Structure 1
């Protein structure tokens, strides 16, 4: 991952996200549900229902990057939404 700015923020999408979503679907979630700019260069992190998979979306100069990590034996500790878990 090449991140050139020291002003990068990391945003966690609380609750669960449908991991069938790819760049287009996740960037819509960033703009519509998180009300943030997906082109900002900040990192937007999403987690699945089982909490064994995360995706990180960010804009890098001329295109989106999407990182995907799946845990085989462990789980991520992930915050839930104040309003309760719901699918994104």
Structure 2
């Protein structure tokens, strides 16, 4: 049985500020991490991406054998991102 992501084990959490095209999948988001921020997407960190709309975001995390892609859409309220 696969284990769920334990957020207490994360080394870092990065919030990628600005507008990210949330149509991108894992490969596109990992490329942004590497090319624009010179960070390693395979590190034990969670990378959060804000879209144009402030009620949704995506996150990726490397679990050692593959990436986890998370998508959150708030039904009421929104994530506080500065654009």
- Choose between structure 1 and 2: higher helix proportion: 2
Q: Give the alignment's TM-score, normalised by structure 2.
A: 0.86
Runs (4+) of structure 1 exceeding 4 A deviation are none
- Counterpart-to-counterpart distance in 2, 1:76 and 1:4: 18
Maintained 8 Å contact 2:10/2:44: no
Under a length normalisation based on structure 1, what TM-score does the superposition of the two structures give? 0.81
Q: How many residues align?
A: 80
Matches within 5 A, 1:1-88: 1-3=4-6, 6=9, 8-80=11-83
Change in Cα spacing, 1:4 to 1:45, as seen in structure 2 (3 Å) is closer
Structure 2 segments unaligned to the other structure (5+ residues) = none
Q: CA deviation at 1:5?
A: 6.7
Q: How far off its partner does 1:4 sit?
A: 7.7
Aligned-residue RMSD, C-alpha: 1.7
Runs of 5+ consecutive residues of structure 1 not aligned to the other structure: 81-88
How far does residue 50 in structure 1 lie from its aligned partner after superposition?
Answer: 1.2
